[in-house]
């Protein structure tokens, strides 16, 4: 079994997986403080205990097949039930040093994870070290390995929401680069030279112009894209996202673009304008990529983390080599 932990923008999402099968999932709200770590460890133990009890067999009345009442998973330590993780993988919303596995930089909410040794933390909490990866890159690995774009060897993923997360896969290999920054900074491409200064330090980034934190106070993404209350914001966001994706297609020449994030629940209201923008502004000799919206975007990161976790125990060099 693999334990997958995703430090997301508003929630810490956890999953216990068995290869491509998601066995159990859970989530806790982000506090934005070091207290997130013990809270995540406690939720992970609960899921592991729940998984163990499910495997031993429980009826809907809370009794095992032997007739004894089974304990509450929330009050059960996996060490007592025998369930532990065979491998652990962790996703973070920031740049991960490929040499040390430590996060080099993230937004303010996860400042406490910068240069924190999550590998040792996992070893202490669960008895096994962890592989640590950028969240968008993990999501891309998940979707191209066992998800909506399974088998694709050249792909780009763009997650829209709290920020703009991106990742690229070239000839079956996730792009990481010399220091771990390659492919994941697409949201920080300059879209408008007259635009605002982004917290990253760049000028007129796509993320500074079209993300949750760029919305006016009191306005939500759901309101913008499911009502007609803010047509000017909707049009500006779609224009920026189209420009960002066009630049990514020019940079990485993917066969498929995977659009993800909660706002994609709006479906074609988001996907279609972005695809149309790319087709209208693509380099003339390029073949337009296919556009995919995963049917279960909430599982993208968990799928990728499962692949990475298993690679640490089977010595698999790259996710695509498992196929």
Q: What is the pLDDT of residues 165-206, one digit of tens each?
A: 999 999 999 999 999 999 999 999 999 999 999 988 999 999
The answer to the question of residue 143 being in a domain is: no
**Is residue 158 located within the same domain as residue 281?**
yes
pTM: 0.87
Question: For position 57, what pLDDT does the model report?
Answer: 59
Instruction: Share the mean pLDDT of the chain.
Output: 88
Last residue of a domain, one of 85, 108, 136: 136
Domain match, 155 and 110 both: no
The answer to whether residue 248 sits within a structural domain is yes
In a domain, 126, yes or no: yes
Separation between Cα atoms, residue 92 and residue 135, nearest integer Å: 5
Domain of residue 121: give its range.
2-136
% of the chain with per-residue pLDDT over 90: 73
- Do residues 253 and 199 share a domain? yes
Q: What's the pLDDT score for residue 26? A: 96
- Considering the domain architecture, whether residues 158 and 89 belong to the same structural domain is answered as no
State whether 160 and 266 are in the same domain.
Answer: yes
Q: What is the pLDDT of residues 251-284, one digit of tens each?
A: 999 999 999 988 888 889 999 999 999 999 999 9
Last residue of a domain, one of 77, 111, 136: 136
Same domain, 153 and 289: yes
- Please indicate, yes or no, whether residues 164 and 83 belong to a single structural domain of this protein: no
Q: Is 321 inside any structural domain?
A: no
Q: What is the pLDDT of residues 76-116, one digit of tens each?
A: 444 444 458 999 999 999 999 988 999 998 767 898 999 99
Do 108 and 61 lie in one domain? The reply is yes
Q: Which residues of 232-262 are buried (b: 16+ CB within 10 A; e: fewer)?
A: ebbeebbbbbbbbbbbbbeebebebbbbbbb
The answer to whether residues 131 and 18 belong to one domain is yes
Domain of 155: which CATH number?
Answer: 3.30.420.40
Q: Is the pLDDT of residue 144 over 90?
A: yes
The 3-state secondary structure of the chain reads: CEEEEEECCCEEEEEEEECCEEEEEEEEECCCCCCHHHHHHHHHHHHHHHHHHHHHCECCCCEECCCCECCCHHHCCHHHHCCCCCEEEEEECEEECCCCCCEEEECHHHHHHECCCHHHHHHHHHCCCEEEEEHHHHHHHHHHHCCCCCCCCCEEEEEECCCEEEEEEECCEECCCCCCCCCCCHHHCECCCCCCECCCCCECEHHHHCCHHHCCCCCCHHHHHHCCCCHHHHHHHHHHHHHHHHHHHHHHCCCEEEEECHHHHHCHHHHHHHHHHHHHHCCCCCCCCEEECCCCHHHHHHHHHHHHHHHHHHCCCCHHHHC
Exposed (0-12), middle (13-18) or buried (19+): which is 201, by Cβ within 10 Å?
Answer: exposed
One domain, residues 109 and 188? no
Radius of gyration of the chain (CA): 20
Q: 304 with 137: CB under 8 angstroms? A: yes
95 inside domain: yes
136, 158, 192: which is the final residue of a domain?
A: 136
Q: Please tell me whether residues 46 and 131 are part of one structural domain.
A: yes
141 within some domain: no
In this structure, the answer to whether residues 119 and 155 fall within a common structural domain is no
Q: How many domains is the chain partitioned into structurally?
A: 2
- Residue 319: inside a domain: no
Q: State phi, psi for 297 to the nearest 5 degrees.
A: -60, -25
């Amino acid at each position: 079994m693999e334990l997958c932990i995703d430090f997301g923008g508003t929630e810490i999402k956890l999953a216990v997986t068995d290869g491509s099968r998601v066995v159990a999932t859970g989530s806790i709200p982000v506090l934005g403080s070091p207290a997130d770590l013990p809270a995540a460890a406690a939720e992970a133990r609960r899921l592991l205990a729940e998984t163990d009890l499910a495997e031993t067999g429980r009826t809907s009345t809370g009794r095992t097949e032997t007739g004894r009442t089974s304990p509450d998973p929330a009050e059960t330590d996996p060490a007592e039930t025998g369930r532990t993780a065979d491998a652990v993988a962790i996703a973070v919303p920031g740049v991960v040093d490929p040499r040390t596995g430590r996060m080099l930089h993230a937004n303010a909410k996860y400042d406490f994870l910068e240069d924190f040794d999550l590998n040792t933390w996992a070893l202490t909490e669960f008895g096994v070290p962890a592989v640590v990866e950028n969240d968008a890159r993990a999501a891309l690995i998940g979707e191209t390995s066992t998800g909506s774009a399974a088998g694709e060897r050249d792909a780009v993923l763009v997650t829209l929401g709290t920020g703009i997360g991106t990742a690229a896969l070239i000839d079956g290999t996730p792009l990481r680069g010399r220091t771990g920054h390659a492919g994941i900074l697409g949201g920080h491409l300059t879209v408008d030279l007259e635009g605002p200064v982004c917290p990253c330090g760049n000028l007129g980034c796509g993320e500074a112009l079209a993300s949750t934190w760029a919305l006016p106070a009191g306005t939500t993404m759901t309101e913008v894209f499911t009502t007609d209350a803010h047509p000017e914001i909707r049009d500006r966001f779609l224009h920026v996202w189209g420009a960002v994706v066009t630049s990514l297609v020019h940079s990485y020449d993917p066969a498929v673009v995977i659009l993800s994030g909660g706002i994609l629940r709006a479906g074609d209201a988001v996907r279609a304008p972005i695809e149309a923008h790319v087709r209208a502004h693509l380099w003339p000799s390029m073949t337009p990529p296919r556009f995919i919206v995963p049917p279960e975007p909430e599982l993208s990161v968990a799928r990728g983390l499962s692949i990475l976790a298993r690679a640490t125990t089977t010595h698999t060099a790259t996710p695509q080599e498992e196929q």
